[in-house]
Amino acid sequence: MNLLIMGAPGSGKGTFSSRLKDNYSLAHISTGDIFRKNISENTALGQEAKSYMDKGLLVPDDLVNRLVLDTLENLPEGVNGYLLDGYPRTLEQAKAFDEATKGTANEVDQILFMDVPHDVLKKRILGRRTCPKCGEIYNIYFKPTAVENVCDNCGSALSARADDNEESLKTRLGEYTRMTQPVIDYYGEQDKVAAINADNDFETIWAQITEALGK
């Protein structure tokens, strides 16, 4: 089973990818995570991607297309397919990806569209805080710590992701509406999109996802 998980920043793609990957034995490929890893290791790819990411802009299509196709060539043994998270993000990426995979084992089967109103996304993203020491994720609106900005688990000071600020978020949501929404429409025309009402609690969202995949 080959899946795409799509949705605006903060729509829960990362959270549900983790459960999907384990439950369906899929290779989870997050283009954002791959770029962040390359940035932290200061590779040539990381240096190129960073200049765009810091501004909330999309990395150029040909760079991302090559990265994803290379990654699919080298999937780990024993997986039941892939779960692409954060790709394709533009119509050009979607068309290039379809052309490269059509009729092969890597053709996409279904798209999960995580649908959340933009005002909820803003709170989720601008409120997001992570503990740099133990990795626990909080939210000042939805999951606050007992003491402001201090991790409940280990007492460390919390931090926010570099691009989770108001200015970058405005650009990212704008890019999403302009560039990524058309991708969902494109796959909708192929009858491959399952819309998930993702402004819900975890189990309600998960039930919708398993139902969509069981069809």
Alpha-carbon Rg for the chain, nearest whole angstrom, is 17
- Residue 16 makes contact with ligand AMP by CB under 6 A: no
Stretch that binds ligand AMP, among 54-62, 114-122, 191-199, 206-214 (CB under 6 A): 54-62
Rounded to 5°, angle at Cα 120 from 55 and 201: 125
In angstroms, rounded to a whole number, what is the distance separating the alpha carbons of residues 105 and 63?
Answer: 23
- Residue 53 makes contact with ligand AMP by CB under 6 A: yes
Choice between 35 and 187, CB closer to ligand AMP: 35
- Residue 9 makes contact with ligand AMP by CB under 6 A: yes
In angstroms, rounded to a whole number, what is the distance separating the alpha carbons of residues 30 and 71?
Answer: 10
Stretch that binds ligand AMP, among 70-78, 87-95, 110-118, 196-204 (CB under 6 A): 87-95
- Residue 87 makes contact with ligand AMP by CB under 6 A: yes
What are all long-range contacts of 38-44, with beta carbons under 8 Å and residues at least 24 apart? none
Q: How near is the Cβ of 213 to ligand AMP at its closest, in Å?
A: 21
Stretch that binds ligand AMP, among 48-56, 102-110, 119-127, 145-153 (CB under 6 A): 48-56
Distances (CA, A) of 132 to 138, 140, 149, 154: 12, 16, 12, 10
Question: Could you list the active site residues?
Answer: 13, 89, 128, 161, 172
